[in-house]
């Protein structure tokens, strides 16, 4: 009788945990699952489901150490009781968790186990899911190896190899999910495949994938996915040198970010638009967007974003010959870099300030023609003068990225 | 059903992220889902119902 009460109680707690996680309240869900484990159960299938859901709840809460712990428990348990399907699921979840933790080699082993079981049991859906996870692991691995300075398509061979593997797994996944007509899965895969092609430097293929992703996002009315697709398309068009098209996509990103009331994404879209207008040499519009970015960054207390906005604004004002304004933002950039401990940004800011001091000094002592000559020099110094060819525009972009934060390892 | 749960999740991106330097925004992970209620419905509901009645 006592055991029966315990079983019901464990089950009831687990069911409540399940309900809470379904509505997105993972914190409360975790408490109920933990309580269910405290009470205990002799039904190992129930215990496996609890471990698995606890792992997922912690995953959603970004507590990956805890997620790892419970997905491990689930894997051990399913192996012990010989539950093959349960083992496949546990392996998949463990693989995803290990990926996030940057333990890619272990993640690969888990993905392979997930895939092997799905193949052995002729489970096509399981195979597709394992292939998607596999692609994600190799994509993340590629990105983690070398991420400083290099341009997409120009990474070390080790990185390119991992990315090519990711593309292969995503393509294999696509074959299955297309067969099954699973549009949601296709959307996800197209998105990540697009990002993989982008990193591989295949921008045309990246655009084609993201166009598919966009189409599916619209089918589902998934505006977050739509916004992601627009942003990723904008990025690819930048590298194709099609800045006007990129700007159109960033505008759509901005529109959706506002609809979704996502201020951080809105700020990012403004920043991207600002940079794109700089490439188009439309400095007034560039300033307008960088100012919008600055205001949101200040609202969100994002000092790094604020510093970057000041730096961009300094460059745009320099390009227009507004040296007083440029000085104002260069000084602000310097102040923020000092505060955030951004050493390379600080160096750039100091150079900008001293260049501008020189120009401003000259402007008091000489006539306007000298000033306009200096304007040209400044463009080149700060990488703010765009060129229309892809190669040169990318060099300028690289400068824009590198200076404030990239060397500092910020994302 | 699990797909929709994943689709709904939007990850906030810090404005400190620069365009295209992060290699693009990724789609959400797909986690495998186990459920006590599903398993219970399949395996145990009958026996518990009879126990509750008794």
Question: Any chain A CB within 8 A of the CB of B23?
Answer: yes
B27 secondary structure, DSSP code: P
Q: How far apart are CA A131 and CA A185, in angstroms?
A: 11
Percent of chain A, pLDDT > 90? Answer: 80
Q: Identify which of A4, A185, A275 has the shortest CB distance to residue B19.
A: A275
- Quick one: pLDDT at residue A146? 65
Lowest mean pLDDT among A104-108, A124-128, A150-154, A363-367: A363-367
Are A97 and A54 within 8 A, CB to CB?
no
**CB contact (8 A) between residue B25 and residue A228:** yes
**CB contact (8 A) between residue B4 and residue A264:** no
Are A136 and A96 within 8 A, CB to CB?
yes
ipTM of this complex = 0.80
Lowest mean pLDDT among A124-138, A345-359, B9-23: B9-23
Set of chain A residues whose Cβ sits within 8 Å of the Cβ of B7: 184, 220, 222, 224-225
For residue A360, what pLDDT band results from cuts at 50, 70 and 90? confident
> What's the rounded mean pLDDT across residues A302-310?
94
Q: How far apart are CA A208 and CA A307, in angstroms?
A: 35
- Chain B residue with minimum CA distance to A148: B21
**CB contact (8 A) between residue B36 and residue A49:** yes
Lowest mean pLDDT among A42-46, A75-79, A223-227, B50-54: B50-54
- Quick one: pLDDT at residue B23? 77
For residue A100, what pLDDT band results from cuts at 50, 70 and 90? very high
- Taking alpha carbons only, the member of A386, A350, A123 closest to residue A274 is A386
Q: How far is CA A194 from the centre of its chain?
A: 13
Question: Any chain A CB within 8 A of the CB of B53?
Answer: no
Q: How far apart are CA A142 and CA A135, in angstroms?
A: 11
Q: How far apart are CA A44 and CA A3, in angstroms?
A: 15
For residue A151, what pLDDT band results from cuts at 50, 70 and 90? confident
- Residue A403 confidence (pLDDT) above 90: no
- Residue B11 confidence (pLDDT) above 60: no
- Taking alpha carbons only, the member of A261, A264, A260, A192 closest to residue A232 is A192
- Residue B14 confidence (pLDDT) above 70: no
Question: Any chain B CB within 8 A of the CB of A234?
Answer: yes
Percent of chain A, pLDDT > 70? Answer: 85
More confident residue, A374 or A181: A181
Q: How far apart are CA A291 and CA A321, in angstroms?
A: 17
pLDDT in tens, A62-94: 999 999 999 999 999 999 999 999 999 999 999
Q: How far apart are CA A284 and CA A262, in angstroms?
A: 25
In this complex, how many residue pairs, one in chain A and one in chain B, have their CB atoms less than 8 Å apart?
161
**Which pTM does this prediction carry?**
0.81
pLDDT in tens, A203-235: 999 999 999 999 999 999 999 999 999 999 999
Q: How far apart are CA A183 and CA A130, in angstroms?
A: 17
Q: How many CA atoms lie within 13 A of A116 on its CB side?
A: 9
> What's the rounded mean pLDDT across residues A120-133?
98
For residue A335, what pLDDT band results from cuts at 50, 70 and 90? very high
Question: Any chain A CB within 8 A of the CB of B19?
Answer: yes
- Quick one: pLDDT at residue A160? 94
Q: How far apart are CA A58 and CA A80, in angstroms?
A: 24
- Residue B45 confidence (pLDDT) above 50: yes
Q: Which of B2, B19, B26 to mutate to test the interface with A (most CBs of A within 10 A)?
A: B19
Residues in CB range of A81: below 8 A, 6 or more apart: A44, A45, A48
Q: How far apart are CA B28 and CA A59, in angstroms?
A: 12
- Quick one: pLDDT at residue A375? 43
Q: Identify which of A88, A129, A220 has the shortest CB distance to residue B7.
A: A220
Kindly report the average pLDDT of chain A as a whole number. 88
- Taking alpha carbons only, the member of A40, A34, A8 closest to residue A20 is A34
Tokens of A204: 């045309």
For residue A17, what pLDDT band results from cuts at 50, 70 and 90? very high
**CB contact (8 A) between residue B25 and residue A304:** no
Q: Which of A89, A125, A268, A273 to mutate to test the interface with B (most CBs of B within 10 A)?
A: A268
Q: How many CA atoms lie within 13 A of A311 on its CB side?
A: 33
- Residue B33 confidence (pLDDT) above 80: yes
pLDDT in tens, A242-290: 999 999 999 999 999 999 999 999 999 999 999 999 999 999 999 999 9
Are B40 and A13 within 8 A, CB to CB?
no
Output A93-98 pairs: Cβ under 8 A, ≥24 positions apart.
A93/A52, A93/A55, A93/A56, A93/A59, A93/A67, A93/B31, A93/B32, A94/A68, A95/A133, A95/A137, A96/A59, A96/A133, A96/A136, A96/B29, A96/B30, A96/B31, A97/A55, A97/A59, A97/A64, A97/A67, A97/A68, A97/A71, A98/A68
């Amino acid at each position: 009788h006592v055991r029966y009460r315990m079983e019901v109680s464990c089950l009831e707690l687990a069911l409540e945990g399940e309900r809470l996680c379904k509505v997105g309240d993972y914190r409360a869900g975790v408490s109920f699952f933990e309580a269910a484990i405290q009470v205990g159960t002799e039904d190992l299938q129930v215990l496996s489901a609890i471990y698995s859901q606890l792992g997922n709840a912690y995953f959603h809460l970004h507590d990956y150490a805890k997620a790892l712990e419970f997905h491990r428990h689930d894997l051990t348990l399913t192996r012990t009781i010989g539950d093959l399907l349960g083992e496949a699921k546990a392996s998949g979840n463990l693989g995803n968790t290990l990926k996030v933790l940057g333990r890619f080699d272990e993640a690969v082993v888990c993905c392979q186990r997930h895939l092997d079981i799905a193949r052995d049991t002729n489970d096509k859906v399981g195979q597709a899911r394992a292939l998607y996870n596999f692609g994600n692991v190799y994509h993340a691995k590629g990105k983690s190896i070398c991420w400083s300075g290099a341009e997409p398509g120009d990474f070390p061979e080790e990185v390119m190899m991992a990315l090519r593997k990711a593309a292969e797994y995503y393509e294999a996944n696509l074959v299955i999910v297309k067969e099954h007509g699973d549009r949601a899965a296709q959307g996800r895969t197209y998105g990540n495949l697009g990002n993989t092609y982008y990193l591989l430097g295949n921008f045309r293929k990246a655009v084609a994938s993201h166009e598919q992703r966009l189409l599916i996002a619209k089918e589902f009315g998934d505006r977050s996915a739509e916004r992601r697709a627009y942003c990723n398309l904008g990025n690819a068009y930048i590298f194709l040198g099609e800045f006007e098209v990129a700007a159109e996509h960033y505008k759509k990103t901005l529109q959706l970010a506002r609809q979704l009331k996502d201020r951080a994404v809105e700020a990012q879209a403004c920043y991207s638009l600002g940079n794109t207008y700089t490439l188009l040499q439309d400095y007034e519009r560039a300033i307008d967007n960088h100012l919008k970015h600055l205001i949101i960054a200040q609202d969100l207390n994002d000092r790094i974003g604020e510093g970057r906005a000041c730096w961009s604004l300094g460059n745009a004002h320099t390009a227009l010959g507004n040296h007083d304004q440029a000085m104002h933002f260069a000084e602000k950039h310097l102040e923020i870099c000092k505060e955030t401990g951004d050493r390379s940004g600080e160096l750039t800011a100091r150079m900008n300030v001293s260049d501008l001091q020189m120009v401003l000094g000259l402007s008091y002592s000489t006539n306007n023609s000298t000033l306009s000559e200096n304007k040209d020099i400044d463009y080149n110094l700060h990488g703010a003068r765009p060129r229309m060819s892809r190669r040169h525009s990318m060099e300028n972009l690289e400068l824009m990225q590198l200076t404030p934060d990239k060397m500092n390892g910020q994302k | 059903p699990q797909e929709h749960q994943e689709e709904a999740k939007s990850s906030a991106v810090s404005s400190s992220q620069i365009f295209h330097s992060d290699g693009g925004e990724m789609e959400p992970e797909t986690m495998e889902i186990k459920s006590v209620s599903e398993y219970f419905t399949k395996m145990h509901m009958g026996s518990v119902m009879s126990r509750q009645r008794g």
